[in-house]
């Protein structure tokens, strides 16, 4: 995957074109998330299996928050892709189960994550999301 293709992937994600996002997935993709930031010692990390679980999960999340990602660094080597993603979440409907803890309409959460993609045949087979940092909500710009 080239950087230009990845930017297209991000644009599709930001615009909730889930069919285009998942067109980059293998049928058996897994998407692994960091532990719940609100309860890191007691929460079980979440793993989604397959494009359908991915779409269902993000349709739920996006019914509560407007999520926008921006690409930082992009490193591609062999069958591995590593990126830095700056992500803003703008709450549009109260969301008690949000990963950073409950959010209410108007709340903003901003984070930077590093994401590792294992590629197979030009498609994403495994995605691992590692949390790096939370940012001050006053810095929202997307």
CATH number at residue 79: 3.10.450.50
In this predicted structure, the answer to whether residue 115 has a pLDDT above a threshold of 80 is: yes
For residue 37, the model assigns a pLDDT of 65
Number of domains in the chain: 1
> pLDDT-derived band of residue 36, with 50, 70 and 90 as boundaries?
low
Higher pLDDT among residues 43 and 76, named by residue: 76
CB 82 within 8 A of CB 110: no
pTM above 0.85, yes or no: yes
Tokens of 25: 């997935």
Give 109's Cβ-side CA count (13 Å radius).
Answer: 22
DSSP β-ladder status, 47-49 and 80-91? unpaired
């Amino acid at each position: 995957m080239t950087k230009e293709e990845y930017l297209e992937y991000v644009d599709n994600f930001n615009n909730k074109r889930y069919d285009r996002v998942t067109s980059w997935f293998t049928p058996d993709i897994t998407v692994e998330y960091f532990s719940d930031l609100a309860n890191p010692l007691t929460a079980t990390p979440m793993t989604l299996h397959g494009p359908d679980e991915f779409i269902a999960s993000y349709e739920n999340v996006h019914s509560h928050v407007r999520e926008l990602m921006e690409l930082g660094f992009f490193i591609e080597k062999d069958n591995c892709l590593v990126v830095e993603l700056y992500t803003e979440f703008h709450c549009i409907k109260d969301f008690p189960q949000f990963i950073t803890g409950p959010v209410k309409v108007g709340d903003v959460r901003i984070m930077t994550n590093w994401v590792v993609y294992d590629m197979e045949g030009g498609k994403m087979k495994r995605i691992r999301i590692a949390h790096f940092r939370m940012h001050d909500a006053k810095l929202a710009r997307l």
